[in-house]
Amino acid sequence: MTATALSADTSALDTYMERLGIAAREAALRVAQASTAAKNEALRATAGALAAERAMLAEANARDLEAATGLDAAARDRLTLSPARIDAMIEGLHQVAALADPVGAITDLVRRPTGIQVGRMRVPLGVVGIIYESRPNVTADAAALCLKSGNATILRGGSEALHSNQAIAACIRQGLESAGLPSAAVQVIDTPDRAAVGILLRSPQFVDVIVPRGGKGLIERVSAEARMPVIKHLDGVCHVFLDASADHDKALRVAFNAKCQRYGTCNTMETLLVHQAVAATLLPPLAAQYRAAGVELRGCAASRALVPGMLEAVEEDWYAEYLAPILAVRVVDDLDAALAHIRTYGSQHTDAIITEDYSRALRFLREVDSSSVMVNASTRFADGFEYGLGAEIGISTDKFHARGPVGLEGLTSQKWVVLGDGEIRT
């Protein structure tokens, strides 16, 4: 391609992205004011369209799968829109429709000595940008949460899922239009040009917040380039600490579940910390459980002395997010040592203590600076559905704005409202 052709292309892409941004801003104004009934109607009509267009969805997905010759089996699986996954999208839309509308809720309204009443009203953020990789079902899931919270959305899926995403987007448009809402409330970037992501990330005039969903590489790129706030988590290096006063059965049950219920999720335990006083009683039976499940153990010297044949953990193991049947194990002197380990190696995602000691439970809750901190419960509970949010757009390990699982509320903000009767300031 000649320099002139490239520059013409670049300018066409800029124009396309600007048109998208302007349309999103205009749609955001209308969606912010839309009634709950209209938003729910759009969600249910989209569910209806997905159900009616199964053949079209399958065909579009087949085109993507056919073109995606370079993908490994796991990536192909993520890209596949099976009938069960279409059912899940439909079910998800109905679930979001059934959630309470957060927009417009006024809380904490109090009368001040001056006579004014002061409170806070929940309002949408504006335009949410979603950047994701191969799973096309994110298109429907993320669009539903953004719409219900009164935001417009610009979605950018993986280029390998382009046809599938466009097919889903067509159903969403149908749903929006049948409810009288602007179709630009949900827009899918439909060019495979990778430069589109860069333009989106540099457009704070059009996008109020970016949510990247995908692997670490994607999230790092988005964090580095975005000129607007990002809701993200980079790593889930989650810990379970078995305290000296841990109940034996709870310790075994939770430590096993936190690792083995699913290996590939961000809230899976990656390092087990065990108080020296209970290591001899807890580690051998736990090791037997893990081995039976096929989990490879990598331990400190003290752990290895108690569990023959355990591999040696090196410094990198304490930082590792395995997302696999591997577990790092460390015996620690006391609660302080456990807290120091979590502070040094953790990723501020989710950490749990197993203890029957009241004061140590409170200290752990207060001192661990992670988005979710738990006592006597599996780290696997750190999830929007489990917390009662209904669904989640992502999990944030940042401290600003939203922390942990982010649902509808995390896609909104609060403004102050003042109800007066002619009061003036003196």
Which residues bind to its own copies, rule: CB under 8 A?
Answer: 29, 32-33, 104, 110, 112, 114, 116, 118, 121, 123, 125-126, 208-209, 229, 247, 249-250, 253-254, 256-258, 261, 343, 352, 354, 365-367, 369-378, 380-382, 386-388, 399-401, 403-405, 413-426
Smallest separation, CB 167 to its own copies (Å): 33
CB of 101 to its own copies, least distance (A): 13
SS3 for 89-110 is: HHHHHHHHHHCCCCCCCEEEEE
Nearer to its own copies by Cβ, of 19 and 343: the residue is 343
Of 30 and 76, nearer to its own copies (C-beta) is 30
Judged by beta carbon, residue 194 or residue 366, the one nearer its own copies is: 366
Residue with smaller CB distance to its own copies, 131 or 377: 377
Q: Which is nearer to its own copies, 190 or 225 (CB)?
A: 225
Residue ranges of E strands in 186-268: 186-188, 209-213, 238-242
**Amino acid in position 382:** A
Do 43 and 144 form a contact (C-beta atoms < 8 A)?
yes
Q: Is the dihedral of CA 304, 307, 312, 313 positive or negative?
A: negative
* Nearer of residues 312 and 367 to its own copies, judged by Cβ: 367
Q: How far is CA 103 from CA 35, 119, 127, 183, 413, in A?
A: 9, 14, 15, 20, 9
The DSSP code sequence of 314-362 is -HHHHH----SSEEEEEEESSHHHHHHHHHHH--SSEEEEE-S-HHHHH
The least CB distance from residue 81 to its own copies, in Å, is 27
For the bound state, the minimum distance from the C-beta of residue 26 to its own copies, rounded and expressed in Å, comes to 11
Closest by CA to 57, choosing from 214, 169, 142, 177, is 169
Residue with smaller CB distance to its own copies, 150 or 175: 150
> Least distance to its own copies from the beta carbon of 373, Å?
5
Residues in CB range of 365: below 8 A, 6 or more apart: 373, 375
φ and ψ at 270, to 5 degrees? -110, -25
Q: Residue 212 CB, nearest distance to its own copies (Å)?
A: 16
CB 79 within 8 Å of CB 64: yes
User: Least distance from C-beta 421 to its own copies, angstroms?
Assistant: 6
Determine if residue 409 is left, alpha or beta; phi over 0 gives left, psi from -120 to 50 gives alpha, anything else beta: alpha
